[in-house]
Amino acid sequence: MRSFDLTGRRALVTGASRGIGFALAGALGRAGAELIVNARDAAALDEAAPQLRAAGIAVSASAFDVTDPAAVTAAVDAIEADGKAIDILVNNAGIQRRAPLDTFDDADWRSLMATNLDSVYYVGKAVARHMIARGRGKIINIGSVQCELARPGIAPYTASKGAVKNLTKGMCADWARHGLQINAIGPGYFDTPLNKALVEDPAFDAWLRGRTPAGRWGRLEDLHGAIVFLASAASDFVNGQTLYVDGGITSVI
């Protein structure tokens, strides 16, 4: 099991103050990684970081806006200059906006794409430059079942996550030869703050349970094994892939 041990590795997780990002950070920390947790809201990080430390995890916080390329580059370079090499990057930051496509607000389109897609490019590139110089590194982008599926009212979100899937492949095509492994996780429908409106909608809840072969919402702990696998030496010959953790929803019509 030593190939899954992350002791001595350092992981930067974006959007880590709550929900899936917080859960992924915790899983990496319990596998031995030192954490650098990111969010735009420094106050939210001040609440999240002590919870991770209470579990015996070494953690520091880095508040910066993942949609601002200058801020991203400055923050990543500062982390690396402080002797904290980033061995693992988890591009998790994301938002959701729901509306029919014909009435979707253009400003919401731009903010959704900036957060869900542009940030993966900005942070991925800034971190990869340092990883390439070292000849190793793990990048895990967080996609969605919407990399493959669509549903009324979320076409822009679907577009952003489909692009993340193919950007993951593109990163692999360019960076695998430098010793990097770049993969993605595609969570299904999870009971998180991002999906609060859906969880509390009885009709959608019934549809989701009936549509998913596992018959339930995802639980955050369902993601722990996938993130540790893709961050560890166990996945050293896995590259450019999207691993769906979805209770089987993408496997059925």
CA–CA distance, 180 with 210 (Å, rounded to integer): 39
Task: Check residue 35 and report its DSSP letter.
Answer: E
157 is catalytic: yes
CA–CA distance, 152 with 166 (Å, rounded to integer): 22
Give me 39's structure tokens.
């969010």
Task: Check residue 115 and report its DSSP letter.
Answer: I
**Which positions ≥6 away from 29 have C-beta within 8 Å?**
11, 35, 52, 55, 57, 58, 59
Question: Cα-flanking dihedrals φ and ψ of residue 176, to 5°?
Answer: -60, -35
Annotated active-site residue in 122, 157, 189, 244 = 157
Give me 251's structure tokens.
């496997």
Residue 206 identity (one-letter amino acid): A
Alpha-carbon dihedral 241, 246, 252, 253, rounded to 10 degrees: -100
CA–CA distance, 94 with 49 (Å, rounded to integer): 19
**Catalytic sites, residue numbers:** 157
